[in-house]
A = this chain, B = another copy of it.
Amino acid sequence: MQKRSKETRTQIISAALVLFAREGYDATGVAEICQAAGVSKGAFYYHFSSKQQVFMQLLNDWLGTLEAQLLDIQKQIQDVPQALLHMAGMMQAVFEQASGNLPMFLEFWTQASRDPAIWQLVTAPYQSYQEFFKTLIQKGIKEGSLQTYDPDIAAHALVALAVGLLFQGVLNPQHKDWARVPAQSVQILLSGLAKK
Contacts and interface: CB of A to CB of B under 8 A. Distances in A.
Interface of A: 102-103, 106-107, 109-110, 113-114, 123, 126, 149-150, 152-154, 156-157, 159-165, 167-168, 171-172, 177, 180-181, 184-185, 187-193, 196
Contact of A102 (B113, B157, B167, B181): B113
Contacts of A159: 164, 168
Contact of A106 (B109, B123, B180, B192): B109
Contacts of A187: 192
A157 B185 contact: yes
Given A103-B113, A106-B110, A196-B196, A163 B153 contact: no
Contacts of A103: 110, 113-114
